Amino acid sequence: MSVAALIPAYNEERTVGSVLKTIKESGLCDEIILVSDGSTDNTSQVGRNLGVKVIDIKENKGKFSAILEGYKCSKSEIILMLDADLVGLKKEHIEKLIEPVKKMEADMSIGIFKNGRGATDLAQKITPFLSGQRALKREVMEKLITYPADNYGLEMALTILSKKEGFKVKMVDLYDLTHVMKEEKRGFFKGSIARLKMYYDILRVFLKLRFGVY
């Protein structure tokens, strides 16, 4: 089964190169698509320098929109989603995400950080359903398009979708993997505001899909 790696990114020039290089060198993905979601730094150029497909969105619309833009440009049977700010990504992590879907053991796999670092490990232990590292069948994405979600509500929408539609989900441990936190990238104040907005988007999508509250 063919695999398309989708990497949504907003001002991730410091880390996205390492992520893209690991994906490319793994030889596991037939398509690698970087979606620069209104980035004002060199995120897009980093992708072009590495020879991957780059989609530039003029204004920052959020992760959900970025993933959908990448999906529309892909043709593969399996969609691999990876964050652009990952630290420590290895070929084995990509394999662990893809294999359950390729072997028909799951319709979607969700990667959980283990032994990366305390803060990110704890966050994913408490809310594993919010992990951005996933592999899923194309048919799951087709269903997702019909769901009312936006921005950081992507992972919550996928979680609720899988339950409603009866998709089989498998959690996989991703050892020694972590990511750069918002407070580290943007400073404590701006990072905290971004985090609160993320939680707001997640809650809003949860209320929409679970209770029909708009």
pLDDT digits (tens, 9 = 90+) for 31-48: 999 999 999 999 999 999
- Residue 151 gets which letter from DSSP? G
Q: What whole-number percentage of the chain has pLDDT above 90?
A: 61
Distance in angstroms (rounded) separating the CA atoms of residues 191 and 115: 24
Least confident span in 29-43, 84-98, 129-143, 175-189: 175-189
State the pLDDT at residue 214. Answer: 39
121 or 88, greater pLDDT: 88
Most confident of 3-17, 53-67, 132-146: 3-17
Query: In whole angstroms, how far apart are CA 137 and each of 121, 134, 187?
Result: 26, 10, 37
Taken as a whole, the chain contains a residue count of: 214
In 3D, which of 115, 67, 87, 98 has the Cα closest to residue 172? 98
CATH 1.20.140.10 assigned to 3-180: no
Is the pLDDT at 133 greater than 90? The verdict is yes
Lowest mean pLDDT among 73-82, 178-187, 189-198: 189-198
pLDDT (average), residues 155-173: 90
Whole-model pTM: value is 0.83
State the average pLDDT over residues 88-101. 98
Q: How confident is the model at residue 213, as a pLDDT?
A: 42
pLDDT of residue 117: 67
Count CA atoms within 13 Å of residue 70 on its CB side: 30
pLDDT at 83 over 70: yes
Task: pLDDT band for 184, please (50, 70, 90 cuts).
Answer: low
Summary mean pLDDT of the chain: 86
Instruction: Kindly report each contact of residues 115-124 with a partner whose C-beta sits within 8 Å and lies 24 or more positions away, as own/partner.
Output: 115/175, 115/176, 116/87, 116/88, 116/174, 116/175, 116/176, 116/177, 116/178, 116/179, 117/178, 119/181, 120/178, 120/179, 120/181, 121/178
Q: What is the pLDDT of residue 155?
A: 84
Using a 10 angstrom Cβ sphere, with 0-12 exposed, 13-18 middle and 19 or more buried, the burial of residue 58 is exposed
If DSSP states are collapsed to H, E and C, what string results for 47-82?
HHHCCCEEEEECCCCCHHHHHHHHHHCCCCCEEEEC
92 in Cβ contact with 28 (< 8 Å): no
Residue whose pair of structure tokens reads 């897009």 in the numeric block: 44
CA distances from residue 97 to 106, 187, 197 in whole angstroms, order as listed: 10, 31, 28
Where are the chain's structural domains?
Answer: 3-180
| Whether pLDDT at 28 is above 80 | yes
